[in-house]
Amino acid sequence: MGVTIRALEPADQAAWQELYEGYQAFYGHDARPQAFYDAAFARLVSGDARDFHALVAQSAEGALVGLVHYVFHPSLWREDGVCYLQDLFAAPEQRGTGIGRALIEAVYAEADRAGSPAVYWLTAEDNHAGRRLYDRVGVKTPFIRYNRPA
């Protein structure tokens, strides 16, 4: 597919933000202030092993066409912890080209490297486009999420 998966770098800020705004819009979230993107980006490139990491997909032409954010956190059940993949997004014109799969598999590789190979993610039950991919690269569990009331 002519796409390279690589770590997010400080020079990516504008292109990353454009993609992440697309992600927020896709999920119907309200627009976020610029301070949200600034703070998130600073964390993603901070190198803090306990905070979020990002990988991006770069096209042969140099454009950012996909992103994934993940974090390692403790699990009481596993001493090696778990890897939570929070955000996954491919530019709409890139759908069906394998970018989503490549990003997830790159997180698997990073999780292996970090010694914490148990990767998981959450998705909306009716995210049919996403789930067509997730049913191929992952395993649906019977677990559903409850939140404290707002």
Return residues touching its own copies (CB under 8 A).
Answer: 39-40, 43-44, 50-52, 69, 71, 73-77, 79, 84, 86-87, 108, 111, 117-126, 128-129, 131-132, 134-135, 137-150
| Shortest distance, position 24 Cβ to its own copies, whole Å | 9
* Both tokens assigned to 83: 């890897």
**Phi and psi dihedrals of 147, rounded to 5?**
-115, 150
Residue number with CB closer to its own copies (11 or 76)? 76
User: Could you give the strand order of the β-sheet that contains 82-90, starting from the edge strand earlier in sequence?
Assistant: 3-7, 53-59, 64-73, 82-90
Closest distance of CB 67 from its own copies, Å: 11
Q: Which is nearer to its own copies, 59 or 131 (CB)?
A: 131
Taking the complex as a whole, the smallest distance from the CB of residue 49 to its own copies amounts, in Å, to 11
CA 122 to chain centre: 11
Cβ-proximal residues to 28 (8 Å cutoff; 6+ apart), any chain: none
* C-beta separation of 34 from 67 below 8 A: no
Q: Which is nearer to its own copies, 10 or 77 (CB)?
A: 77
